[in-house]
Structure 1
């Protein structure tokens, strides 16, 4: 039996798909980059590993559903996706538990306070309070873990297998900002319980971050503080970040215990 030719996402020339419409639609969404405003359907198809015909067809369906919308120079993420994304944030137990701590830190420090988690080899920002205009980080966005203070804080308190897995992925991501922390740097972060921005010499901001730990001592998230470079000595705020992280850890633990008792 002859196997039909398929594109990388599993779509056959006739439109049938082993991977399914949902997977191909997600590939289109994942093809958007933070700097994109509008992208041509053919370019999205190329990034997603789809044929032009498959990509155009899926994009048209997504426009009809409001997932994407047409712009002057292609298509962009639609308002419906923004609405759905807001629902995810609103119902995230971690975000809800963290908001009071984030607000207090922003008021105390006058800086931008971030809540982030590790997903794959990236940190994903669940919430940003008092954001700095023009900053590369944004709520719902992601950056390579090795390029951020939050990423270093989380990596230092992650299992060795997680660190090793991410380290193997860094060389394949070109251009790859930042660098993986050395064993000595990981030990230092573990000892002082905070990380500084590994990209401070390249960015217009400086950052410090602390891990939010689970009862076993592994990081479930990070709290980070950012200020424009040279405006403040961020190390003076580390104790406040650490107190907030401990408070959030306790709040998450109590929430988990209540859920177990009610189940």
Structure 2
């Protein structure tokens, strides 16, 4: 176990409990550490943007970065709970697999799913991953992602099937279309015979935090069915977004 890392976490907790900022000597006495260790840990936190030194008080205080990280985690938990009723309804209506995804680097992470009751169906697993540019939920998330994310995806563009997107320009054109229609379609870019549609979910700040999708065998879901599914998904994701506090006004 990394003792320095543990000391850093303990230091963060101590600082979070002090509303008036913390001094080096105070933290050293409180945590039973020497001042030089505390100073090095504080400088690391400042360097990473988790803390700052107040020039007026000469004390260290935490920045909003901790709050931002916590809010993202809380938002992911909220979106799952708020999405479940709509996922169940979609599963009953479409009789296809319904899944909820978030973006993690250049991949989507499936955080919830409801399997199709049909014997031939699309398979995903909670905790499973897929290349974001190859699946509908991933493309719905990438359409509103920043350039740093797209740069990461660019380095991972490769053919998984004959329909996979392998050029960044082609991906950008698809993402532009997704922003226009409001939904994304996968025509067999990750698994040859598995297709799907998805739409984005926004939080109270308007940020896209997840995507809701349906998927199934290509023999059952043609392009028209996917487009109809996309429109139905927009209705569901807009309702979920409203429950998360999003307002279009």
**TM-score, with structure 2 as normaliser:** 0.58
Whether 1:226 aligns to 2:218 is no
Whether 1:105 aligns to 2:90 is yes
Distance 1:201 1:125, change over 3 A: closer
* CA-atom RMSD in angstroms: 3.1
Question: 3-state DSSP class of the match of 1:235?
Answer: helix
Return the match for 1:166 from 130, 148, 153: 153
Match of 1:145 in 2: 132
Match of 1:252 in 2: 244
Q: Map Cα deviations across residues 177-214 of structure 1 (whole Å, 9 max, x no partner).
A: 63355322111111011111053595222201111123
Tell me how far 1:18 sits from its aligned partner.
8.6
Distance in 1 between the 2:209 and 2:241 partners?
A: 9
Distance in 1 between the 2:235 and 2:185 partners?
A: 17
Distance 1:106 1:135, change over 3 A: closer
Gapped runs of 5+ residues in structure 1? 1-15, 21-87, 255-263
RCO comparison, higher one (Cα < 8 Å, 6+): 2
Q: Map Cα deviations across residues 227-259 of structure 1 (whole Å, 9 max, x no partner).
A: 2212132222222210110011111127xxxxx
Q: Map Cα deviations across residues 97-119 of structure 1 (whole Å, 9 max, x no partner).
A: 11001001111111111100001
Distance 1:17 1:218, change over 3 A: closer
Distance in 2 between the 1:158 and 1:251 partners?
A: 22
Distance 1:187 1:175, change over 3 A: closer
Q: Which moved more, 1:124-133 or 1:222-231?
A: 124-133
Q: Does structure 2 retain, via aligned residues, the 8 Å contact 1:144–1:151? A: yes
Structure whose CA Rg is larger = 2
Whether 1:191 aligns to 2:180 is yes
Distance 1:183 1:96, change over 3 A: same
**TM-score, with structure 1 as normaliser:** 0.55
Tell me how far 1:226 sits from its aligned partner.
1.0
Q: Does structure 1 retain, via aligned residues, the 8 Å contact 2:97–2:122? A: no
Question: 3-state DSSP class of the match of 2:244?
Answer: helix
Return the match for 1:241 from 233, 237, 241: 233
Tell me how far 1:143 sits from its aligned partner.
0.8
